[in-house]
Amino acid sequence: MIRLDIVSKSYKIDEETTFYALKDATLEIKEKEFISIIGPSGSGKSTLMHLIGLLDKPSQGELIIQNKKISKLDDDQISSLRNEFVGFVFQQFNLIPKLTVLENILLPTIYARKKLDYNPTEKATELLKKFGLFEKRNTYPNKISGGQQQRVAILRALIMEPKLILADEPTGNLDTKTGREIMELLKELNEKEGMTIAVVTHEADIAKYGKRIVNVRDGKIVK
């Protein structure tokens, strides 16, 4: 589903110096996998995630997503692919405070580039019920707990029926117990629905939920 072929991401510091946030990364993520990407702060995890999520382009190497070479696509094609392919979950939840829970979940469908073959509100309602948040649908994000906010963020990712969920430190703003609940939820999505999931974390306890763990150190994938 996803392949990185000797991919690097570098930044030019000055005339002579180039800094590699990621260097010669080769990685494959198969459909229905649940992988954890673990490494200390500054090791290149988010860089890797931004590349996989098509938020950024490699400086060198090839990224292949669903048999498409990303270097061959223009920006518009990349946006469309990102839109249909990946759902993001972030440490900070990134919910819009002025929108209700339901409106937050529906937001991606308003900006959707692809034609949806389902009714967004019906789908959101179904998701809210399934994840025990239906009673909170007309509530605002600041009136619900962190764990609930992160679940709303996960539903906002799921509403577009992505092929991949990319979660960058999804438990970083949660206490241990709530963090585990979020990881259990992701695990269930993977096991019951076959959702492909990649979680970025610096915590070994969180990484353990993945069926495969990828270690990143100083911009390199290490075994």
Ligand X SMILES: Nc1ncnc2c1ncn2[C@@H]1O[C@H](COP(=O)(O)OP(=O)(O)O)[C@@H](O)[C@H]1O
Chain contacts with ligand X (rule: CB under 6 A): 11, 19, 21, 39, 41-47
With the CA atoms of 118, 155, 39 and 21 taken in that order, what torsion angle do they form, in degrees rounded to the nearest 10?
50
d(CA 199, CA 75): 26
Using CB under 5 A, which residues numbered 91 to 110 contact Mg ion? none
For Mg ion (CB under 5 A), the number of binding residues is: 1
Look at residue 21 and give the partner it binds from ligand X, Mg ion, none, a contact being a CB closer than 5 to 8 Å depending on partner kind. ligand X
- Which residues are CB-neighbours of 205 under 8 A, at least 6 positions away? 176
Name which of 25 and 158 has its Cβ closer to ligand X.
25
- In angstroms, give the least distance from the CB of 88 to Mg ion: 13
d(CA 57, CA 221): 18
Name which of 40 and 194 has its Cβ closer to ligand X.
40
Binding-site string for Mg ion from residue 43 to residue 62, where x marks contact by CB under 5 A and - marks none: ---x----------------
Look at residue 148 and give the partner it binds from Mg ion, ligand X, none, a contact being a CB closer than 5 to 8 Å depending on partner kind. none
Name which of 159 and 206 has its Cβ closer to ligand X.
206
Closest to 49 measured CA to CA, from 218, 183, 197, 193 = 197
Look at residue 41 and give the partner it binds from ligand X, Mg ion, none, a contact being a CB closer than 5 to 8 Å depending on partner kind. ligand X
- In angstroms, give the least distance from the CB of 43 to ligand X: 4
Q: How far is C-alpha 177 from the chain's CA centre?
A: 21
- In angstroms, give the least distance from the CB of 59 to Mg ion: 18
- In angstroms, give the least distance from the CB of 47 to ligand X: 3
**Structure tokens that stand for 27 in this block:** 């990685």
- In angstroms, give the least distance from the CB of 166 to Mg ion: 12
Name which of 141 and 179 has its Cβ closer to ligand X.
179
Please give the residue ranges that form the binding site for Mg ion (CB under 5 A): 46
